[in-house]
Chains A and B, each alone.
Chain A
Amino acid sequence: MSYLQQYFQSDRAGNSMLGALLAIAILVPILNLAVPESSVFHVSTYTVTLIGKYLTYALLALAVDLIWGYCGILSLGHGAFFALGGYVMGMYLMRQIGDRGVYGNPELPDFMVFLNWQELPWYWYGFDMFWFAALMVILVPGLLAFVFGWLAFRSRVTGVYLSIITQALTYALMLAFFRNEMGFGGNNGLTDFKDILGYSLQSDYTRAGLFAASALILVLAYLLCRNIVNSKLGRVVVAVRDSEDRTRFLGYRVEYYKLWLFVLSAVLAGIAGALYVPQVGIINPGEFSPLNSIELVIWVAIGGRGTLYGAIAGAILVNLSKTWFTGVLPEGWIFALGAMFVVVTLYLPRGLAGLITRKQAQT
Chain B
Amino acid sequence: MSGLDKMRETFRRDQVWNFLMPRYTYEDVLDTSKGPILYLEDVTVSFDGFRALDDLTLYINDGELRCIIGANGAGKTTMMDVITGKTRPDHGSVFYGQRIDLLRLSEPEIAALGIGRKFQKPTVFEQHDVLVNLELSMRMDKRVWTTLSARLSGEQRDRIDEVLEIIGLKNEAYKRAGLLSHGQKQWLEIGMLLMQDPRLLLVDEPVAGMTGHETERTAELLTSLAGQHSVVVVEHDMEFVRSIARTVTVLHQGSVLAQGDMDTVQNDPRVREVYLGD
Contact = CB atoms under 8 A, between A and B. Distances in A.
A, B in one complex: yes
Interface stretch (B6-14, B50-58, B92-100, B104-112): B104-112
A239 B125 CA distance: 6
Given A233-B147, A260-B144, A243 B108 contact: no
B123 A243 contact: yes
Contact of A249 (B84, B128, B129): B84
What's the dominant secondary structure at chain A's contact region? Answer: helix
B165 to A, nearest CB: 18
Contacts, number: 90
Given A232-B147, A246-B123, A5 B142 contact: no
Given A228-B148, A252-B142, A253-B143, A239 B108 contact: no
A363 B119 CA distance: 39
A94 B12 CA distance: 54
Q: How large is the interface on B (under 10, 10 to 19, 20 to 34, 35 or more residues)?
A: 35 or more
- Looking at A232, A241, A246, A250, the one whose CB has the most chain B CB atoms below 10 A away is A250
B135 A256 contact: no
B137 interface: yes
A42 interface: no
- Looking at B107, B135, B192, the one whose CB has the most chain A CB atoms below 10 A away is B107
Nearest to B125: A239
Contacts of A245: 86, 119, 123
A288 B192 CA distance: 44
A239 B136 contact: yes
A341 interface: no
Given A243-B123, A246-B125, A253-B142, A233 B108 contact: no
A231 B142 contact: no
A232 B150 contact: yes
B200 to A, nearest CB: 13
A102 interface: no
A4 interface: yes
A187 B107 CA distance: 47
Contact of B107 (A4, A231, A233, A248): A248
B196 A2 contact: no
Contacts of B252: none
A233 B174 contact: no
Contact of A250 (B106, B137, B174): B137
Interface in A1-35: 2-5
Interface string B182-215: 0000000000100010000000000000000000
Interface in A191-241: 228, 231-233, 235-236, 238-239, 241
A323 to B, nearest CB: 36
A195 B184 CA distance: 64
A250 B198 CA distance: 10
Interface string B115-152: 01101000111111101100111010011100111110
A155 B123 CA distance: 23
A171 interface: no
A251 interface: yes
Contacts of B192: 250
B86 to A, nearest CB: 8
Contact of A2 (B106, B126, B127, B129): B129
B206 to A, nearest CB: 16
B5 to A, nearest CB: 29
A99 interface: no
A227 to B, nearest CB: 9
Contacts of B128: 3, 235, 238-239, 242
A244 to B, nearest CB: 10
A236 B108 contact: no
Interface string A247-265: 1111111101100100000
A250 B112 CA distance: 8
Contact of B148 (A4, A232, A241): A232
A236 to B, nearest CB: 6
A257 B192 CA distance: 20
Given A233-B144, A235-B132, A251 B111 contact: yes
Interface of A: 2-5, 228, 231-233, 235-236, 238-239, 241-243, 245-254, 256-257, 260
6 contacts: A2-B174, A4-B129, A232-B135, A245-B119, A251-B112, A260-B144
